[in-house]
Amino acid sequence: MLTVERIVVLCVGALALLKDVIHKRQGRSVTDAALLRELAREKSASVPDLSSRAKVSQPAALATLIELEEAGLIRLTAEGGAEHVRIAAITEAGRQELARL
């Protein structure tokens, strides 16, 4: 016979799986798509240039670019301090994702 503890564990597990499915279906945001589109036009671009062209604030663009890099869709140069401008470049996986969008 199922105990209350087992029922709770079963429900929590089912909710976690449902959350994962829903999260994966959400796909890319409008900002993700805009930045990938801008990067696909050139081999690389600076974060300030991308944010301007995609009409997104620089902090929002950088946060999105970091997420895209974690997903393997772009590459970002390392942070080099206050005077350094980071450069983003689209990867082949990024081009494929953009084609899918």
CATH code of the domain containing 74? 1.10.10.10
Is 1 inside any structural domain?
no
DSSP state of 17: H
Task: Specify the pLDDT at position 23.
Answer: 52
Is 93 inside any structural domain?
yes
Q: Looking at the 3D structure of the chain, how many domains does it have?
A: 1
Task: Residue 80: give the domain boundaries.
Answer: 28-100
Q: What is the pLDDT of residues 20-75, one digit of tens each?
A: 545 544 456 888 999 999 999 988 899 999 999 999 999 999 999 999 999 999 99
pTM above 0.75, yes or no: no
C-alpha to C-alpha distance for 94 and 101, rounded to whole angstroms = 11
Task: Specify the pLDDT at position 13.
Answer: 62
C-alpha to C-alpha distance for 44 and 31, rounded to whole angstroms = 17
For the segment 7-24, the average pLDDT, to the nearest whole number, is 57
